[in-house]
């Protein structure tokens, strides 16, 4: 409960950090925040050209769409937000060391704002995906209104991991490089670039213990298939997210007093 109450108590400060982060990211560029729209548009066009035109990759109608580019983009949206939040958490404490040394500053909010900034960019990508679905005549099902609940589970799990990574990086500076390798492995071990049906039967047990698989499939069920995701996978995602959030907050607050000495 301490982590939830802390985030709620400092919500205005978190929002301020998120706004500053999004504005600073594109400061000085010619089109500013429009890069948040341009980038996913370019990526979607690239996926469509490479996978649909050149490679002519298709997925079955059971996956919710026969257009592989849309299938891939839908899976990449949550994964990219997840990876961005974790990658940026590796340096957020070091970059704000001047704030850490202030006794009254709530340092636990620092790993949170990159997670939220990543989700904001994901929502921009989702708006583009929604527009494309409407353009190609894909039905928009009412169950899509449940997407914020899945997004909340994503935020909870990512924040918990971000707390652990941000705190540990203060003492293990190589953790950022290690994380990059693990995320690269993760994106290929999670059915994002391929449907889960192609995974060998003897390896499908690994999918059952992969929370990112549950997350990606929840997105695809709601958005592409227009149906509720399997309750077992949602329950698993919620359980993992809650445990990681609570453990992450506890680990971070335990390490927090030593930050000033190391920095």
Residue-level pLDDT at 193: 84
- The two structure tokens encoding residue 246: 């609570």
| Cα–Cα distance measured from residue 179 to residue 191, given in angstroms and rounded to the nearest whole number | 19
- Contact partners, residue 102, CB within 8 Å, separation at least 6: none
CA distance to 52, 84, 143, 150, 252, per residue, from 109 (Å): 42, 16, 32, 22, 11
Predicted TM-score of the model (pTM): 0.90
Residue-level pLDDT at 168: 93
Residue-level pLDDT at 28: 57
Residue-level pLDDT at 32: 55
Secondary structure letter of residue 36 according to DSSP: H
Residue by residue, pLDDT tens for the chain (263 residues) are 667 787 888 889 999 999 888 887 766 555 555 666 777 778 778 877 877 778 776 776 667 677 888 888 899 999 999 999 999 999 999 888 888 877 688 889 999 999 999 999 899 889 989 998 998 888 888 999 999 999 999 999 999 999 999 999 999 888 888 999 999 999 889 988 888 888 888 888 888 899 999 999 999 999 999 899 999 999 999 999 999 999 999 999 999 888 877 76
| Cα–Cα distance measured from residue 88 to residue 91, given in angstroms and rounded to the nearest whole number | 6
- The two structure tokens encoding residue 9: 């108590």
Residue-level pLDDT at 1: 62
**Percent helix / strand / coil, the chain, rounded to 5:** 80, 0, 20
């Amino acid at each position: 409960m301490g982590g939830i109450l802390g985030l709620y108590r400092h919500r205005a400060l978190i929002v301020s950090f998120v706004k500053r982060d999004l504005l600073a990211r594109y400061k000085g560029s010619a089109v500013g925040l429009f890069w948040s729209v341009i980038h996913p548009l370019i990526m979607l066009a690239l996926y469509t050209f490479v996978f649909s035109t050149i490679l002519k990759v298709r997925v079955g109608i059971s996956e919710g769409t026969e257009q592989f580019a849309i299938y891939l983009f839908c899976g990449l949206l949550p994964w990219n937000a997840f990876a961005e939040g974790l990658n940026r958490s590796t340096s957020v404490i070091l970059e704000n060391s001047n704030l850490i040394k202030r006794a009254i500053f709530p340092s636990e909010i620092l790993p949170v704002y990159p997670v939220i900034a990543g989700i904001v960019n994901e929502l921009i990508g989702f708006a583009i995906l929604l527009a494309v679905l409407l353009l190609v005549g894909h039905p928009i099902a009412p169950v899509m209104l449940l997407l914020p609940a899945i997004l909340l589970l994503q935020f909870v799990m990512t924040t918990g991991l971000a707390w652990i990574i941000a705190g540990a990086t203060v003492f293990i500076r190589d953790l950022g490089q290690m994380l990059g390798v693990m995320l690269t492995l993760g994106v290929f071990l999670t059915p994002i670039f391929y449907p889960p049906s192609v995974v060998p039967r003897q390896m499908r047990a690994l999918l059952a213990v992969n929370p990112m698989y549950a997350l990606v499939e929840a997105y695809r069920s709601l958005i592409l298939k227009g149906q509720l995701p399997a309750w077992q996978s949602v329950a698993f995602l919620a359980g993992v997210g809650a445990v990681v959030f609570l453990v992450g907050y506890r680990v971070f607050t335990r390490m927090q007093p030593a930050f000033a000495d190391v920095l």
